[in-house]
Amino acid sequence: MKSIVIHGQRDLRIEETSVAAPGIGEVQIAIATGGICGSDLHYYNHGGIGAIRVKEPMILGHEVSGHVTALGPEVDGLSLGQLVAVSPSRPCLACSYCHEGALNHCLNMRFYGSAMPFPHIQGAFRQMLVADQKQCAPAEGLTTGEAAMAEPLAVCLHGARQAGELLGKRVLVTGCGPIGLLCILVARRAGAAEIVATDLTDFTLNMARQNGADRVINSLEDPEALKAYEADKGTFDVLFECTGAAPALAGGIAALRPRGTIVQLGMGGDMTLPVQAITAKELKLCGSFRFHEEFFTGVELMKKGLINVKPLITQTLPLADAVKAFDLASDRTQAMKAQISFA
């Protein structure tokens, strides 16, 4: 079978890899669609994420859906040909964090396409994948592209849980890539009263407006626009920071009202924080890392029509054009979520 393998910075190859048979409690899946994530782009464009570097060839990808092609022993509840969204989250269920219910912090996590451990955890951008049954969320009624959006949606659902109640709250979203837009959709579904979004390109901001933002701000063209929200110690109750860039975080903190909540989703490396402002305003700073059970919640929300991710899928390219797809996904003037068709 063919797989998408990263060897280093800007060194992406389509290679032949072996096909495995499903074991006990496992299913074999013919991958249909895979979405290119920001972490995939970091591996492609930079050879790593911050201090995490690609040290050996690694299959990329963790946003995938496909059809069940074989059932291993002791599998029930799934059937051949069934469309499933595949969660990349594979905690060990045996470590102390798993026992505490903090599965996203598993000490032995096997998250698809991650160079954090060595040997690296191989990813899901391959024509055939063997997964545990418990990773598979039935996705009948969705397109394969929608089903592949379950992973980034789960990231944002987990972030919303970190933020706490959003009903009636004023929300600021900094960064309007896929995670930022999904945060807008989630915040709107959760009852946010007002959502303001910032970014640097008109394309992403127009997408934010079309998907639920009440106001959008181009921080490149109007860097002082958030100043109006700083009056009387600030305006917003919640900040979803989705860029990982220090200027975006600092500007968002200045616009937060006292006792507001910062949810940091963007991962761009270490940043210098305005600690004095955080202290004086009694702000709550929450990291938000991956997800677990939110994956299945996200699939159900999409199946019920409560969250519509279709408008975020801007391009779907064939497997043979994987490099072109990665280059396109890197261009925030024309791509929101670029996906690859493996069918």
Q: Mark whether 56 and 88 lie in a shared domain.
A: yes
Q: What pLDDT does residue 50 have?
A: 83
Same domain for 35 and 98, yes or no, is: yes
Both 144 and 40 in a single domain?
yes
Read off the pLDDT of residues 114-172 as tens digits, 9 standing for 90 and up.
Answer: 999 999 999 999 999 999 999 999 999 999 999 999 999 999 999 999 999 999 999 99
Per-residue pLDDT tens for 247-301?
999 999 999 999 999 999 998 778 889 999 999 999 999 999 999 999 999 999 9
Same domain for 103 and 209: no
Same domain for 258 and 131?
Answer: no
339 burial type by CB count under 10 A (0-12 exposed, 13-18 middle, 19+ buried): buried
Say yes or no: 81 and 190 in one domain. Answer: no
Strand ranges (E), 50-192:
52-53, 58-59, 63-71, 83-86, 128-132, 136-138, 170-174
Please give the average per-residue pLDDT across 21-29, as a whole number.
97
Which pLDDT belongs to residue 103?
Answer: 97
**What percent of the chain clears pLDDT 70, i.e. is strictly above it?**
100
What's the CATH code of the domain at 46? 3.90.180.10
Are 218 and 250 part of one and the same domain?
yes
Identify whether 115 is part of a domain: yes
Domain of 145 in residue numbering reads as 2-149+309-341
For 25, the 3-state DSSP assignment is: coil
> pTM for the whole thing?
0.96
Q: Report the share of the chain in percent with pLDDT over 90.
A: 97
Q: Is 158 helix (H, G, I), strand (E, B) or coil?
A: helix
- Residue 51: what pLDDT? 86
**Helices marked H in the chain:** 38-46, 96-100, 144-147, 150-163, 178-189, 202-210, 246-255, 275-280, 294-303, 322-329
Same domain for 260 and 274, yes or no, is yes
Q: Looking at the structure, do residues 18 and 142 belong to the same domain, yes or no?
A: yes
* Residue 21: pLDDT over 80: yes
Domain membership flag for residue 293:
no
Going by C-alpha positions, the residue among 259, 217, 264, 254 that lies closest to residue 234 is 254
Same domain, 197 and 160: yes
Q: Same domain for 138 and 195?
A: no
User: Is 303 inside any structural domain?
Assistant: no
Decide if 32 is inside a domain. Answer: yes
Mean pLDDT, to the nearest integer, of 8-31?
A: 97
Q: Give yes or no: residues 223 and 191 share one domain.
A: yes
**Cis omega (within 30 of 0) for bond into 119:** yes
Decide if 300 is inside a domain.
Answer: no
Give the pair of three-digit tokens for residue 168: 């009636």
Q: How many structural domains are present in the chain? A: 2
Q: What's 190's domain CATH number?
A: 3.40.50.720
How far apart (Å, rounded) are the C-alpha atoms in residues 294 and 310? 19
299, part of any domain: no
In a domain, 261, yes or no: yes
Is residue 177 in a domain?
yes
For range 101-115, the mean pLDDT: 96
Q: What is the pLDDT of residue 343?
A: 85
Q: Which of 295, 308, 326, 329 is nearest to 13 (CA)?
A: 326
